[in-house]
DNA sequence: GAAGGTTTAAACCAAGCGGTACAAACCATT
DNA sequence: AATGGTTTGTACCGCTTGGTTTAAACCTTC
């Protein structure tokens, strides 16, 4: 009967995630991965197949473990303004705390989308659509329950919020002045105010 | 006496620009460049030194030829709302027309900023700061001349506009639905409306 | 404790990378 | 036409890339 692996698959994936996340696909070599994952090449290929497959799996894992869980948590908050406030505050503090300035793995990948294989394109595109739909649903719910003006175009506002999220995450990878990120946050929060 | 080169330097730089612009630094090989520039390796290294130096020079060229010229043109328009409208309309039509979905070379590079040499970081950072300052100045001028409410925080609005620009450019590299880009454009134009 | 199958570690591979060397081709001057 | 310095094209370099092979180490079952 087979012998069990003596390293933890999920743990290895998490370590690989950090590398791909901060360096991108092209910027990451198999040597980088082997070092970070603390397993050797043989095991890596045996367990994950290839660099592409590993990237794919790791991106999917980020989508599920980080993004989907985060939005599930936010959904429970209810009020859209509060959600926006919490989400943007999280992003700002993440940006300030992370010395590697990794930003968001999905958005980092989104910038290179035209050069990525179709499967990757699909993961990223669907994630972005889900973010947009999430905000649209939240706004519509608030409108139905009287917390928000019904004249607001929910879809358009959701798209704008997504654009601000992307903008913040990209700018945060550069010379992040907290002050700039705060300005974007303020703009996002004010987005739902009347006549806006 | 020396013999003159029989290829045009600027022309070669423009051809190199397209490659770096759409594939990024890591995604571009010297072979890609040699093919695109239609000169051979010897001439390339003789004329430009190295891959890094070429990238540097090409990015600087983009900054001067594309970005600075564009904003000089916009400055003449005067009214900030009109400027925003024109600029975002330009970006949207560029995004729709460009089959390569190259986006903006500076913003593409901005996403990888932490992994770039200092010199590159400087070019990108200064460009972003100049964009922000441009909008801030335009808003302040409009306020001074009575076209815009003086309660508006010019700096904060300028930062928000930059974030929307970045967001649009990144999202436009993905599955660009013109409708989404239009929503972002509308948001940017409405940014200066009262109580916003 | 021998068998059977799996995982590990390390050596190894072809191909492509960025970059260089050098002789031939070239043009302006003499 | 011969000279001198430059540019060009090509062959070549060492190194790293992503990926494979192989044999020893390993655990489980009988």
Round to whole Å and give the CA distance between A87 and A89. Answer: 5
Cα atoms in the Cβ-side hemisphere of radius 13 Å centred on B176 = 26
At A1 the pLDDT is 46
The minimum CA-CA distance between B3 and chain A, rounded to whole Å, is: 40
Alpha helices in chain A (DSSP H): 9-27, 30-37, 41-48, 51-62, 69-77, 80-97, 105-111, 118-144, 154-173, 178-190
Strand C contact set, beta carbon < 7 A: A 1-7, 39-43, 46-47; B 1, 3-4, 28-32, 41-42, 45, 50-52
Which of A124, A163, A175 shows the shortest C-beta gap to B164?
Answer: A163
Give the one of B111, B187, B196 whose C-beta lies nearest to A170's C-beta: B111
Q: Which nucleotides of C are covered by protein (CB under 7 A)?
A: 4-11, 16-22, 25-29
Q: How far apart are CA B89 and CA B84, in angstroms?
A: 8
pTM: 0.94
Per-residue flag: A50 CB under 7 A of strand D: yes
> pLDDT tens string for chain A (196 positions)?
455 667 788 999 999 999 999 999 999 999 999 999 988 898 899 999 999 999 999 999 999 999 999 999 999 998 999 999 999 999 999 999 999 999 999 999 999 999 999 999 999 999 999 999 999 999 999 999 999 999 999 999 999 999 999 999 999 998 778 999 999 999 999 998 865 5
Taking a C-beta distance cutoff of 8 angstroms, is the pair B105, B59 a contact? yes
| Chain A CB contacts of B118 below 8 Å | none
Cβ atoms of residues B98 and B38 within 8 Å = no
């Amino acid at each position: 009967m087979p012998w069990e692996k003596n390293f933890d698959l999920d743990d290895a994936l998490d370590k690989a995630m950090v590398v791909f996340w901060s360096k991108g696909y092209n910027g990451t070599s198999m040597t980088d991965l082997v070092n970070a994952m603390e397993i050797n090449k043989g095991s890596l290929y045996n367990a994950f197949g290839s660099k592409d497959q590993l990237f794919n799996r790791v991106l999917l894992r980020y989508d599920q473990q980080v993004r989907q869980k985060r939005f599930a948590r936010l959904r429970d908050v209810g009020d859209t303004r509060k959600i926006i406030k919490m989400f943007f505050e999280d992003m700002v503090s993440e940006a300030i705390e992370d010395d590697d300035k990794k930003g968001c793995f999905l958005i980092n990948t989104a910038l290179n989308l035209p050069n990525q294989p179709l499967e990757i394109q699909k993961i990223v595109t669907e994630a972005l659509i889900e973010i947009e739909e999430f905000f649209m649903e939240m706004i519509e719910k608030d409108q139905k329950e009287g917390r928000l003006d019904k004249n607001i175009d929910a879809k358009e506002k959701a798209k704008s919020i997504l654009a601000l999220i992307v903008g913040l995450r990209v700018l945060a990878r550069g010379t992040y002045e907290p002050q700039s990120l705060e300005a974007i946050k303020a703009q996002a929060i004010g987005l739902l105010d009347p006549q806006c």
